[in-house]
Structure 1
Amino acid sequence: MTLFDGITSRLIETPRLSVNILERDGDDPATGPERTVVFVHGNVSSSLFWQEIMQDLPGDLRVIAIDLRGFGESENAPVDATRGLRDYSDDVFAALEALEIPTAHFVGWSMGGGVIMQYALDHPALSLTLQAPVSPYGFGGTRRDGSRLTDDDAGCGAGGANPDFVERLSTNDTSDEAPTSPRSVFRASYVAQGYTSEHEDVWVESMLTTSTAEGNYPGDATVSENWPGFGAGDYGVLNTMAPKHFDVSSIVDLDPKPPILWVHGTADAIVSDASFFDINNLGALGVIPGWPGAEVAPPQEMVSQTRDVLTRYGDAGGTVVELQLEGVGHSPHLERPAEFRRALLETIGYVGAAADPAPPTEAIILKSSD
């Protein structure tokens, strides 16, 4: 595991499983929850992706990045998808309980955004920073209002995984010889065109920690009578976000309501209103034949769904700031780190945030309790 300067790794034993975390040298374990930030990665990644932002945050914060089960150095325990993302959020809680951290500020990326929304429904959270988060209604198979298109979630879950991509994960393919190699997928989907980094090998290394054992990525699928012929199963990573298993739109009713920062890019290929990972959108584009049309299988309006739910959250008394970054892909913390850092520090109420450069003009207050 490639660790950057000042970053350390250790395993935490919990009653649920062994959880790997990254920390910074010199962070004080006695730091209170109000100055503790916990990072949760997304699908096909690990805590390694957070190292740059961990290095860049002020030294008087305590910063922790957690590997979810089946990723990074954490135990490859199977995932019960019928619980949505609760296996993951309960694992995070168990790790923090072992560290004697009663609550914290949480940052979740993509699937990790769903994990921390579920966490906030079940446990206290001081703030939520949602980076390119999965829709509160899950991934695929829903109308704008969150209602499900079919009873079996046709086109959702593990059946949509590319078998060659899964095979290349399992064989630790670091090449860029095929569009389905992890490196090619990173370049095409995780970041916007033009992004480069001296750490690309580390980002690919992180992707390759994904367990493809039974019960992990991608999971099982069912046969469906509805187009495109498969539905979501009950175990494995991709099925956790199928709408029959996952719906965290009830965060609107949280009391108290932690402040929320929502950061996303306009060039995100994975989470958008026209996602290249949404089977129905691929059908509409003619990539997958036989699409039955927008009345039956409309593309999921993921970003609009998130905005709708967070607007209701604000209307109910919460504070929500949206930071939409033009031309940025699925990884704002890599592509626009300065803006991400500033917005995060303001969200957690860090006193020194005002000393940072001027806040980005793209920041929008959807609703503020102030």
Structure 2
Amino acid sequence: MTDVRTVFDGIAELSVRTERLVANVLEREAETAAEAETVVFVHGNCSSSLFFQPVMLRLPVQLRALAVDLRGFGGSETLPVDATRGVRDFSDDVWSVIDALELGRVHLVGWSMGGGVVLQQLLDRSDSVASVTLISPVSPYGFGGTAADGSRLTDDDAGVGAGAANPDFVARLADGDRTDDAPTSPRTVFRSSYVAPGYSGEFEDVWVESMLTTVTGAENYPGDAVESPNWPGMAPGPRGVLNTMAPKYFDVTGIVDLPQTPPILWIHGTRDAIVGDETFFDLNTLGKAGVVPGWPGEDVAPPQPMLAQTRAVLERYANAGGSYRELALPDCGHSAHIEYPDTVAEAVVELVASSRPSA
């Protein structure tokens, strides 16, 4: 057990019962809540809404800020994740919270996997979205297993999904490991992957507690894997968190065809270790580097150019009538909202203002 105080002063914790689940929600109330525009934050993998508190507290009091714990994370109900729906179990859950609270049109902010969730929300109900902010989002084509143009490398997405998770990291999450004794401990993974090298902050214990709320197993994180005849010998199964982002289940490039095109802000760090054009969280990158043996070569298993894919899809979105802004932060890793909370808050406020109809 731990005595770390995880909810900051100025943030309230709500339990919201919807038709889909009982969700834990953090709220920074607006000065006039009944009239305020609402910003809804959606966290990424192996985390929770706790990570958004620094940005929530920096938003002006004219805005209401809510952060939703996804199923199997934070304080929300643990329910199985059907990966064959992509991230729709998550996006439908978030919409159910928004509907239960009768929020109307909202501004969505999604981090990492949460970026994919809010793009799915945009796809499903674009008329209910006022703006979208993506923080180090998963590629619109999913995580791993695609070429630069988004085409799938194999018919079973070999090397993608739950089978790529480090089993010792998963075990340490399940055991509640708060040490920094191993490269695979959550605290060490936070330092090496969630933030840029050299980052230090006073709330590291809170971020580790957030990571440790992750429910592990075949139905949740990381999910299940199946054998594959293709290198490296495994492919995503139909269950669990990591498999939701397999390209055979996940593709949100349909945003380029939407009738409503709210403005999009894309924020990412230039030193992001998780989402990049050749990230070491991609088995094809590890194969190319000789870390995973038997790599069949660049023609068969190239690393996924995640940033280039995101940029290309957002350019198509802009060409179709939407708009987007890219904000690349130097010396920033995967978590701009805790590394540069003032910058992120200012950018979100600017986006919200730009999305309002002209007088």
Please state which band the TM-score falls in when normalised by the shorter chain: over 0.9
**Secondary structure, aligned partner of 1:348:** helix
CA drift at 1:85: 0.4
TM-score computed with the length of structure 2 as normaliser: 0.95
Residues 1:190 and 2:194 are matched in the alignment: yes
Structure 1 unaligned blocks of 5 or more: 352-370
CA shift for structure 1 position 60:
1.4
SS at match of 1:263: strand
How many equivalent residue pairs?
Answer: 349
Q: How does 1:281-360 map to 2 (within 5 A)?
A: 281-349=285-353
Amino acid at match of 2:175: T
Kindly provide the CA deviation profile for residues 99-156 of structure 1, in whole angstroms up to 9, marking residues without a partner as x: 0112200000000000000000111211000000000000000001100000110000
Name the residue aligned to 1:101.
103
Select which of 152, 156, 160 maps to 2:160.
156
**Aligned equivalent of 2:93, options 87, 91, 94:** 91
Q: What is the rounded CA distance, in whole Å, between the counterparts of 2:104 and 2:248 in structure 1?
A: 31
- Residue 26 of structure 1: how far off its partner (Å): 5.8
**Deviation for aligned residue 1:337:** 1.9
Pair 1:279–1:27, CA change in 2 (3 A): farther
Partners of 2:231 and 2:308 lie apart in 1 by: 24
Q: CA deviation at 1:170?
A: 0.3
Query: Which residue of 268, 273, 280 corresponds with 2:277?
Result: 273
> Are 2:7 and 1:3 aligned?
yes
- Quote how far apart the aligned CAs of 1:4 are: 0.4
Mapped pair 1:45 → 2:33? no
Separation in structure 1 between the aligned mates of residue 93 and residue 159 of structure 2, nearest angstrom: 28
Q: CA RMSD in A?
A: 1.2
Distance of 2:293 and 2:68 partners within structure 1: 40
Structure 2 counterparts to residues 42-81 of structure 1, below 5 A: 42-81=44-83
Aligned partner of 2:78: which letter?
A: N
What's 2:116 paired with? Answer: 114
Structure 2: which amino acid aligns with 1:89? S
Shift of 1:276: 1.1
SS in 2 for 1:126: strand
Q: Which residue of 2 aligns with 1:133?
A: 137
Match of 1:144 in 2: 148
Identity over aligned residues, as a percent? 62
* SS of equivalent to 2:216: coil
Deviations 1:308-346 (A, max 9, x none): 000111111111100011221101111122221211111
Distance 2:159 2:320 in 1: 33
Residues 27 and 63, structure 1, Cα contact 8 Å, conserved in 2: no
SS in structure 2 at match of 1:119: helix
| Cα distance between partner residues in 1 of 2:222 and 2:104 | 32
Partner of 2:222: 218
Q: Is the 8 A contact 1:31 1:62 kept in 2?
A: no
Structure 1 residue identity aligned to 2:72: G
Structure 2 unmatched runs, 5+: none
1:240 is matched with 244
Q: Provide Cα deviations, 1:185-209, integer angstroms capped at 9, x if missing partner.
A: 0000000011111100000000000
Distance in 2 separating the partners of 1:27 and 1:205: 30
The CA deviation at 1:31 is: 2.8
More off after superposition, 227-236 vs 326-335? 326-335
Deviations 1:253-272 (A, max 9, x none): 11110100000011100000
Contact kept, 8 Å, 2:73 with 2:213, in 1: the verdict is yes
What SS class does the counterpart of residue 123 from structure 2 fall into? helix
2:209 aligned counterpart, secondary structure: helix
Q: Which amino acid aligns with 1:348?
A: V
Cα offset, 1:350, TM superposition: 7.1
